Every structure is written in structure tokens, then in C-alpha cells.
Structure 1
Amino acid sequence: MIEPADVVIVGGGPAGSATGGAIAGGGRKVVVFERGHYDTPRVGETLGAEIAPLLIELGAAAQFVPFLNTQTSFTLIRSVFGSLEPQERSSIVHPLGSGWHVDRVLFDKTLAAWAVSMGASVRTGVGRCVVSKQSAGYLVSPEQGEPVLGRFLVDATGRGAHVVTSLGVARWLSFDRQVAIVGLFRTADPVPVVGAELLLEAVEEGFWYSAPQPDGSLIVVMVTDSDLLVTFGKNKTARFETALRKTEQTKDRVSNIPMVEPPRVYRSDSGLAFPTAGPDWCTIGDAAMGTDPLGGNGVARALRGAIELNKGLDNPQEKPDYLSRFGNYLDQRAAYYGMETRWPDAPFWARRRMVDETQTPIDWRMVPLTLLPPSKWGWAGEPPPHVEAWLSSDAIQMIHRELKKHGTAYAYELLSTIQETMPLEHRRLLVGLQNLVEKRVLIERVSENR
């Protein structure tokens, strides 16, 4: 028997549970499908101070007071980023106070319990869900449990937005190839939490961050690109250990602490669903827009998105403009990564820093446009990593395929091509094309093929 619902949500992480609870609190029938049982490791263990006011606005603060009282608050961030010398910043100067190192499994479980208390039905252990479009809405058929037909569908499956992309109503646009490899360290006795600091350390191939967890363990994460990670060894453990040996502060922090399980690798690409919403469906959390750890806290973004979706469910004009937000994020990312100048030609940093030959930051809004309309362009050679600061690798590959097929193309034709995978401001993309010309990836050609 098929059960009816007003809203069906696939994914029971922070975005799915927060959305389910918020909407159910307004009187709608909501069903949330969670693949597992909240008993496997989850990433995102450090939450910023902005979490507290978001929980208050969501209406979940009371549920989380006992939880947060058992977690580890932190007031100090030690950073080796843009300098050889560690810099310390206290959250005492932050208007919202300290953040928390949390047990993410317990955090997600607590948020799901809050959603249930608000009237949502959270179904765990359902396995993979198959979603199909019906005349009356969307039919969600889980591996375990009964199917539900919802009038409105929310994809909360994380990066890749697997539900809406499988339905063919949206595409996932990835702007980089970033991954995170995570190691867990623990002694027989709990690790002393000295200052409970968050440590951030930049290296040639990316950056590391580490933080103590409430159970006394220490989580250690390297963020890099997938093609760089594989150069460190034949398997995940070898890659993690080899990369760790190249650090200074991080390896000292874990020097007397054993790693208790093999490292785990997670996707951490910056990207978004396009479009992010339709008349009777939407994406939320990382399924709508994913950023790297330096681009903001994904859990906070999930809670904020749930609040916005609940307000905009009956007012479509209030739905967030994720394209504008993503463009702003790319600018913020370039500015932050531009602070690290020690490895200007290293692929990881070159792919993220919008700078000129003197390492001076460039604002794409101020760059003169020099591509002449009558000119035709051909492919000249392998693109250096620097061009990916302006155009995604997918966009560059699309240009390559287009020129390999036709020989030459006008700038406006190339612009139309890359807009399929980078639907951002025209000027931003034109500056990216100019960068390909400056790097001699594209050269002006005369061709009769087109």
C-alpha cells in the first residue's frame, strides 16, 4: 500500500532532518528517509559559533542544550596558513562566542529526534531509495519499508544531488576535484584536550585540520585534490601516512597517538545542483551547494537552508538564489587561498588563486575584456593548473572537445559551451577564456572548417 504525504525528503542528515522538522511543525505531513541507522562515522565534526542562533531560529535549541553540554567547546584556532609561523585566533572576539567539536553521529541523531518531536516521520535503515515522478507527485520506494507518494520532493542526499539528477530534472556541476581523507587517532586513555584547539596547516598539496573529539579521540583531515592524493601511495593508509609525514605541526600533534582505523576518503568538491529547485521539488544542504571546509560550515548552511525552505514553501519568490551565493563563494575562496603564497605553482594552490604573474590578486569584474568578436580560436596545448582558478576542469574539457570536433570557434560559441557546466556571470567566464588565451591554451586561428 502506498502512503500519501505532503513532503517526502530523501536523506536524513542535518539538512533533511532540519527541513523535515521545520515543515512538519507547520502542520504538513512529512516523511524523511534515512539510508542508515545513525551508527556510522560522518564528517563535519567541528561546528562554528553560528550553530547556536540557527538552532534557536529553527526551534530546536531546547533539544540541543543537553547535547551541547556534553560536547567539547573550543575557543582557539591555531593556523599555519600563509606563513611559516603559527598564528592564533581566539573565538572570544567572535560575537557569537565559541564553537564545538561534536560527535556528528549523535548530533545527527539528536536532530532527527527533534524532527520526530515536531511531527515528522523519520524512517531509518531504509537503504537505497528509488524515486519516480508520478502525476500526483513523487513516489519514493525504499529498499526496506513501504513506499510513500509525496506532493513535494526534497533531495537532501548531499553532494551530487543523486535523487534529482537521477530524475533528470537537474545536473550536478562540480567546480573542482577536491577530496578529504580522514584519520582517527586515539590512545588507550582519552587524549588530553589542551585548549581544545582547532589546528589548520597548509602544505604544498593542500591543507590539514585537526581537532579533539568529545570521546577523547583526535580527528585529522587532509584536504587535497583526488589526482594529487593518489601520488602519495598505493592505498588510503599509505597515502595518508606519507602525506602526514610532510607536515610539521600536524605530525607533531599526533606523534604519540596511534591511528585506530584505516583512513576514510570523502568527496569534498565545490559544486551545486543546477537548477537547485523546480515547481514541486528542491535540493537542500550539500545537495544544493557544496563548499570546501574553508568556505563555511556545511551543517550551518544546512540549517539555514531548512529555515529558508520552510519560509519559502508557500512563497516561491523567497527561495534562495544559490547561483549568486556560489559565485560569491568562489570569490571568497579565491581571496582566502590567495593569502597562501608559498607554493604559487603547486597545482592545488594554482587551481584556486586568482592572481597575476606578480601574485597580485585579480578581481574579474575589473579585468578589461579583450576577446575580439571576429576572432576564431583553436586549441593549442595542455592547460596549466592556473587556468582552473577561472574555469572548472569540466568546462575546460568541454572547450577541448568542442575545438577537437570543429577545429575553431568564436568566443561567443565557447562561452555558450562552458555555460552548460558553469552557469555563472558572462564576464567571469569571458575573463576565464581570456586566461586560456594568455596561457597559450587557446590561440587565434584562421579556419574554413566553420
Structure 2
Amino acid sequence: MSHFDVVVVGGGPAGCATAIHCAQKGLRVVLLEKARFPRDRPGETLHPGVEPLLRQLGITLQDHRRHPGHWVHWDGPSRFQAFSTSRDEQWKGFQIPRVLLDQQLLEQARTLGVHIVQPGHPSQVLLEQSRVQGVQANATQWTGQFVVDATGHHAWLQRQLQIPWRRFSPRLVARYGYCEDSSLQDKKLGLFAHPDGWHWIARISQTCLHWTQLAFAQDVPHRLTPEALEPLRMIGRVRGADVSWRLCRTTAGSGYFLVGDAAATLDPCASHGVIKALLSGMQAASAIVDCLSWPTGEKTVQAAYQAWVQTAVERDVLALRSFYRAHPYPPAWL
């Protein structure tokens, strides 16, 4: 048996942010990640607001493409949506391959003393008197004062504890991939509405494009890749991710917290998945520090975390519904 203050399951942005922030506060942390890196994930385009969060975690993004905004082809003439309206200050986002961002976050956690187990395959949650005490993984019991589920849409701990979801949409699957190109014009990049749903195209290097596509209905035929990219050579295979709008009804409980997509999911059109993942991880880490310093106030701290998650999701759902109503072919399930 290996005992730590915090056991984090999942090594994406939410899990790494939790582990890093806990380690920065002097806690002993183990992080279990079942996949070997590098790995592909959607979320290559980062809003400028991610920069101060990464700076708090000790991460500096250098030598990556910066962009002042993006083209939107949605409810009328195409328009350029800038991050900043000030001529004096250019607020720029990042185009960074997720394989690099995830690796950089994981290495920062390792540098701060987080014990990384990779691959670490969780098989069973450890309970004692209805309190989560740890995780069985790789024939080892990893125990801690708190367990954090950062397993994304797999929602490992949520399934183990059979916590119900609150759902805001039917099942939605985002498909994404990469292709070679060095000539596509800027106006052919960005967010595009089409009869089946939408697609997003972004340049992440001089010769590589990333695309994500979502169909509003899963039971009708639709293009597997954006039409504009079909003549180009694809890099690797097309992947998919469940991005149904949902909120776990209990995001913090006796001995555990849920962060990132394990706590709540919206589709990529919400445009700030990585920011939300980092924020939720840092919030959960701060909540854990508060719980450890104020054991009798654990339920109060966890209620505050749950309220923060719920309020943010409900606000984002309203904004996304409003944006989809402006779509030329809005989904019937709105």
C-alpha cells in the first residue's frame, strides 16, 4: 500500500492542474494515468485567458503560434472575432498541439515531486465506511485523504460510485483529426456552420491543420471530415469524443472531488474546455487544502465547490443554447 495526501486519477489538464497546485501547497500527491504519452486530444486552440492560469502552475508557453482571434462563418456574413478591441494591446490566443501541452503539464507535476504512475490502470475504488479512501491500480492500493477523478469523459469514479448525470443535450460526438497543408487561406480557417452542425479548422504549425467537427444529430449520414479538407492528406486516423452536455449531480463528496470533464462536459463550441479543466483542477486543489486545514468544515467547502461548478455549467449552457439558436440550421433538441 502507498499512502499520499491526494490521489489524482487522470493526467490531462484538469488532473495535472490539481496535482501541481496541491504539490505547490506542500501536499504529497500521486497521479495515475492509464495512457502512455504522447496522445491526441481535441482542444488545440487556447483562449488568451489560459496564460495567467498556466503561469500560476509554472508553465510558460513559448515558440507556439499566436492568434488575435478567429473567423466565424455562422449567422450571416463572415466576421473576424478578435479577442481584444484595443488597438494598443493585442490579446492573443495560442495554437498548441495538445500532445505538447499535456506533456509539459505532466513534466511540471513531476518536477514538483508528484509521483507519476504511467500507465496506471485504476480497477477499483477503495471505500471505508462510505468514504473514498483510495484507488486499486496495477495491483497496488494507492490511498489518500482525497481522491480526485480527472478521467475526462470516461468519468471513472462517477461510474464506480454510480453518481447520476444531469443531462442538457442528446448524445453528441465530436470527431477530430489532422491534415497536411501549408497554403489554406486564413478565411478558410475558423468556425463554420453547415446543415448538419459545424466544424472548426485551425493551423497549429506551418504545415499542419487541426479540425474538429460536430453533427447535431447522430442518426443521420454526415461527412466524416470537413469538405474543404477532403483533398488534403490526413495525418493519422479520425478520432471521436463524447461531448454531450452534462453535469455530474455530485461533484464532491466524502473523500473525493470530480474535475474537468469528469465533473461536467460541454461540446467544443463552448471554446474554453482547457481553461475550465485547469480552473476546476486548481479550485479542487484549493478546496482540498481548505478541507485538510479545517476538517470539520469539509462539507461546507465541498458545497461551495459544487455550487461553483454548477453555476458555471448552467451559465455556459444558456450561452451555448443562445449561440446555437442563431445557427442557420439549429438543432431540434434545443
Fold shared by both chains (TM-score > 0.5):
yes
Residue 200 of structure 2 aligns with which residue? 209
Any conservation in 2 of the 1:12–1:33 contact (CA below 8 Å)? yes
Change in CA separation of 1:312 and 1:80 when aligned onto 2, cut-off 3 Å: same
Given residue 166 of structure 2, which amino acid in structure 1 is its aligned partner?
L
Question: Which whole-Å CA distance do the structure 1 matches of 2:239 and 2:101 have between them?
Answer: 20
C-alpha spacing 1:29/1:77, structure 2 compared with 1 (3 Å): same
Q: Deviations over 1:337-369 (max 9, x none)?
A: 2222x335xxxx232xxxxxxxxxxxxxxxxxx
- Residue 231 of structure 1 corresponds to 221
Q: Cα–Cα, structure 1 residues 13 and 129, in superposed 2: closer, same or farther, change >3 Å?
A: farther
What pairs up with 1:44-59 in 2 under 5 angstroms? 44-56=43-55, 58-59=56-57
Which residue is equivalent to 2:274?
A: 299
Q: Residue in 2 aligned with 1:284?
A: 259
Shift of 1:331: 1.3
Residue 87 of structure 1 pairs with residue 79 of structure 2? yes
- CA 197–240 in structure 1, closer or farther in 2 if over 3 Å, else same: closer
Q: Residue 321 of structure 2 aligns to which amino acid in structure 1? A: A
Change (3 A) 1:272 1:102: same
Partner of 2:284: 309
Q: Which of 237, 240, 244 is equivalent to 2:224?
A: 240
Q: Give the deviation of 1:21 after TM superposition.
A: 0.9
Instruction: Look up the match of 1:31.
Output: 30
| 150-159 or 130-139, which deviates more | 130-139
Partner of 2:297: none
Separation in structure 2 between the aligned mates of residue 222 and residue 270 of structure 1, nearest angstrom: 16
Instruction: From the superposition, tell whether residues 255 and 294 of structure 1 become closer, same or farther in structure 2 (CA, over 3 Å).
Output: closer
Q: Does 1:120 align with 2:114?
A: yes
Residue pair 1:76, 1:197 contacting (<8 A) in 2 also: no
2:105 match: secondary structure: helix
Aligned to 1:268: 243
Q: What is the alpha-carbon distance in structure 2 between the residues aligned to residue 281 and residue 200 of structure 1?
A: 37
Query: Structure 1: how far apart are the matches of 2:5 and 2:115?
Result: 12
For 2:128, the aligned partner's letter is Q
Q: Distance in 2 between matches of 1:154 and 1:269?
A: 22
Aligned pairs for 1:73-152 (under 5 A) are 73-83=66-76, 85-93=77-85, 97-134=91-128, 137-143=132-138, 146-152=140-146
Report how many residues are paired. 318
- Percent identical pairs in the alignment equals 25
- AA at the equivalent of 2:193: A
Tell me which of the two structures has the higher relative contact order, counting C-alpha pairs closer than 8 angstroms and 6 or more residues apart.
2
Answer with 1 or 2: which has the greater Rg: 1
Quick check: 1:80–1:87 contact (8 Å CA) kept in 2? yes
Q: Secondary structure at the match of 1:163?
A: helix
Unaligned runs of 5+ in 1: 233-238, 246-250, 352-388, 390-450
TM-score (norm 1): 0.65
Partner of residue 332 from structure 2, selected from 346, 350, 366:
350
Deviation of residue 27 (structure 1)? 1.5
2:305 corresponds to which residue? 319
Distance in 1 between the 2:52 and 2:320 partners? 25
- The aligned counterpart of 2:191 is 200
Which deviates more, 105-114 or 130-139?
A: 130-139
Distance in 2, matches of 1:216 and 1:193, equals: 10
Per-residue deviation, 1:113? 1.1
Q: Deviations over 1:122-173 (max 9, x none)?
A: 2211234432213585232223x633111211110112522132123x2233
2:298 is matched with none
Match of residue 173 from structure 1: 166
TM-score (norm 2): 0.87
Distance 1:174 1:318 in 2: 21
RMSD: 2.4
CA distance in 2, matches of 1:231, 1:195: 29
The structure with the largest helix share of the pair is 1
Q: Please state which structure has a larger fraction of its residues in strand.
A: 2
How far off its partner does 1:6 sit? 1.1
Check whether the contact 2:134–2:146 (CA below 8 A) recurs between aligned residues: no
1:175-195 superposed Cα distances (whole Å, 9 cap, x missing partner): 2211111132115xxx25865
Using the alignment, how far apart are the partners of 1:59 and 1:41 within structure 2? 22
- 8 Å CA contact 1:131–1:141 kept in 2: the answer is yes
